[in-house]
Amino acid sequence: MLGGTIRAVGFIGLGIMGGNMAGHIQQAGYALHVHNRTRAKAEPLIARGAVWHDTVADLVAACDAVITIVGYPVDVRQVYLGETGLIANARPGTLLIDMTTSNPSLARLIADSARLRGVASLDAPVSGGEAGAKDARLAIMVGGAAEEVARAMPLFEAMGRTIRHLGPAGAGQHAKAANQILVAAMLMGIAESVAYVKRSGLEPAAVLEVLGAGSAASPLLSVQAPKMIAGDYAAGSHVHHFLKDMGIAIEEAAAMGLDLPALDLSKSRFEELTALGYGTDGTQALSRLYEDDLGS
């Protein structure tokens, strides 16, 4: 293990997920330091005592551990690598944890670069959505060295309920890609089932209640189907982010010589949705493609 006790924790990326997750770190009693591209999103945490830093470099210099959950791999690169990034400005022994959904290869690059400077890093993407972040019941998939996972465990336990160490650097991101392969097919199934129920003239709420008690039961069905039926397309999980996730999974599968046609089809359906101007909607907006005046 590279470092000691964690007292001061930095949090970078205070959006739908990070804003909620950082609040749990603060509630768990850590001294919270925050940075975000848009400062306004940090204000509720600052009002409760978090310390704002204008730059990544200033933040990491004040912290024993830093958690990041930004948008895309390009954001992860910007935050971690280069002269102004976390790795170059961290004290030896600092623990860096990326919870963004990103590439396994980037997680490995970060781990190698961090190790050269005596800094520890983990990839720890999450599943459970906005509700899981709010209620601190995320599923957390971790890649990295076992002793660093043990050191990070109290932080993970403040934000999640099911936490698994799955292998070396990149293993967490591989598991998240596997999760998104499932979600991609499930969202298509849910959107098509909702379209069918509506067209059949049945009472959607009653049908959903019984489907949700059978073999098709899942948190995704119970959260997303009612939103599809109500036409509530507000983003809990952005279409743009989900396209990024499917792109990562397709690229990784191709690198392993694996063809995943259901994933390819789901990605093309979400691309259709984006072309219609709905990329900033939530992923449940897939059901828009089944409305009478749109798509098939």
39 versus 199: smaller Cβ distance to ligand NAP: 39
d(CA 73, CA 87): 16
Residue with tokens 């998240």: 176
> In angstroms, what is the minimal distance from the CB of 130 to ligand NAP?
5
How does DSSP assign 245-293, residue by residue?
A: HHHHHHHHHHHTT---HHHHHHHHHHHHHHHTT-TTSBGGGGGGGGSTT
198 is catalytic: no
> In angstroms, what is the minimal distance from the CB of 194 to ligand NAP?
19
**Identified catalytic residue from 41, 176, 227, 244:** 176
Token pair belonging to 294: 């749109």
> In angstroms, what is the minimal distance from the CB of 104 to ligand NAP?
14
Coil, helix or strand at residue 100:
coil
Whether the CB-CB separation of 220 and 186 falls below 8 Å is answered with: yes
71 versus 212: smaller Cβ distance to ligand NAP: 71
* Cβ neighbours around 77 below 10 Å, total: 17
> In angstroms, what is the minimal distance from the CB of 171 to ligand NAP?
17
Token pair belonging to 193: 């089932």
Nearest residue to ligand NAP, scored by beta-carbon proximity: 15
* Residue ranges in contact with ligand NAP by CB under 6 A: 12-18, 36-38, 41, 69-71, 75, 78-79, 100-101, 126-127, 129-130, 236-237, 241, 245
> How wide is the angle at C-alpha 12 spanned by C-alphas 174 and 97, nearest 5°?
40
35 versus 269: smaller Cβ distance to ligand NAP: 35
108 versus 244: smaller Cβ distance to ligand NAP: 244
Q: Any idea which residues carry the catalytic annotation?
A: 176
